[in-house]
Amino acid sequence: MQLTMTGEYAIRAMICLASKPAGTVMQIYDISREWDIPESFLRKIVQLLSKAGFINSHRGVRGGIELAKPAESISLLDVIEAIEGKLFLNKCLVRPQTCRRDRWCAVHLVWHEAQQKMKETLGSRSLASLATLTAVRYQELHPQEPQVAVYQ
């Protein structure tokens, strides 16, 4: 399983929103420029994130997008699965009993264990924690630049 660019860009956009004060409405153009996401692609991703209930979209002169939920309540796994669908490391985990060996195959057990650990790891990282860590790491690499503010 490899994350698609759609998933990668969705994560970037959500971390960008999570790094702003709650209720901040951002222009898609600004997110696109700040996080290196093609604007036309981001507009399509915004529709998916809105449909999943993670962002609110506002039209008009003062329009833009904002988080629909607190950044602490949205995990990395939530965003990935909203964009990519449910995560499965192997086809035998998608539909149990589709492989005639899944009840006794030792590799099936390893796939299952690895998938569970991956989901646990991704599910334990909130957008808020990722936005904070991103700001800290950026500051470490760019100490001469103004401090990047992250709000929670």
pLDDT digits (tens, 9 = 90+) for 38-89: 999 999 999 999 999 999 999 888 789 999 999 999 999 999 999 999 887 7
pLDDT the model gives residue 39: 95
Residue 59 or 127, more confident: 127
Q: Please choose, from the candidates 47, 20, 22, the residue with its C-alpha nearest in 3D space to the C-alpha of residue 35.
A: 20
Q: Beta partners for 111?
A: none
Across 64-73, 96-105, 112-121, 135-144, which has the greatest mean pLDDT? 64-73
Q: How far is 48 from 41, CA to CA, in rounded Å?
A: 11
Which pLDDT value is given to residue 87?
Answer: 84
CB 67 within 8 A of CB 17: yes
CA angle 75, 41, 85 (to 5 degrees): 40
Least confident of 2-16, 37-51, 65-79, 106-120: 106-120
Read off the amino acid at residue 67: L
CATH number of this structure's domain 5-86+126-141, picked from the four choices 3.40.50.1860, 3.90.870.10, 3.40.50.620, 1.10.10.10: 1.10.10.10
What is the distance between the alpha carbons of residues 56 and 102, in angstroms, rounded to a whole number? 42
| CB 56 within 8 Å of CB 14 | no
Domain coordinates of the chain in residue numbers?
5-86+126-141
Cα–Cα dist 116/103, whole Å: 17
Band of pLDDT at residue 152, cut at 50, 70 and 90: very low
Q: Between helices 76-84 and 106-123, what is the axis angle to 10°?
A: 120
